[in-house]
Amino acid sequence: MLLHIHPQNPQPRLLTQVAECLKSGGIIIYPTDTIYGLGCDIYQPKAIERICKIKNIDPQKAQLSFICRDLSHLSDYTKSIDTPLYRVLKNYLPGPYTFILPASKLVPKILKSKKDTVGIRVPDNVICRSILETLGNPILSASLPGEMVEEYTDPDIIYEKFGNQVDYVIDGGTGGIVPSTVIDCTTDEWIVTRQGLGEWRA
């Protein structure tokens, strides 16, 4: 189903509908501050498997990230973060960045990479953050399958292509074509592993 959610004032009824769908193992395609993402509740293993099937990937080898409403979830899903790193995260988030951090025990096993790390995102997007607030926990996110093409900016085209594989495609307006910038913070040397929309000056 294609859901039109207002980009500045998301309708509470529709947010509840989406959150209930996610809690019952549903999958959504939703807007972020970069590209449209494929998402599910991090506590729904069958939904995670569905996403990996759509993308034809192994969950533990996949580049999946946690989309959080704000930094309050960080301590739940990552191991202790020192003050300099926390300052950097606070400075750059919300924004178009994915930070690779050491995973805590609360990260579902199916999602931990062999390196025991997790990618964390806090997008600067009203619809996305409102869904997270209604849901009460992070969303697992992946990029749409195939090459990132301009037609992936149009929710109607996304719906035509993937509508039969997901429960909801959320229309939050035109999306971007540049993904987030990925920064690996698992060692003392913070490294940009993918240059995306966000500029990195740390």
Whether residue 100 lies inside any domain: the answer is yes
Whether residue 97 lies inside any domain: the answer is yes
- Domain harbouring 55, CATH code: 3.90.870.10
The pTM score is: 0.93
User: In total, how many domains does the chain have?
Assistant: 1
Q: Is the pLDDT of residue 147 over 90?
A: no
The DSSP 8-state label assigned to residue 72 in this structure reads G
Note whether 106 and 112 are within 8 A (CB): no
85 three-state secondary structure: helix
Mean pLDDT of the chain: 91
pLDDT digits (tens, 9 = 90+) for 82-106: 889 999 999 999 999 999 999 888 8
As a whole number, mean pLDDT of residues 133-140 equals 95
Whether residue 199 lies inside any domain: the answer is no
How many other C-beta atoms are found inside a 10 Å radius of the C-beta of residue 47?
A: 23
Whether residue 201 lies inside any domain: the answer is no
User: Domain range spanning residue 116?
Assistant: 2-194
Whether residue 72 lies inside any domain: the answer is yes
Whether residue 49 lies inside any domain: the answer is yes
- Structure confidence at residue 79 (pLDDT): 86
Q: Is the pLDDT of residue 50 over 90?
A: yes
Whether residue 69 lies inside any domain: the answer is yes
Whether residue 80 lies inside any domain: the answer is yes
Question: How would you label 188-200 residue by residue, b for 16+ Cβ within 10 Å and e otherwise?
Answer: eebeeeeebbbee
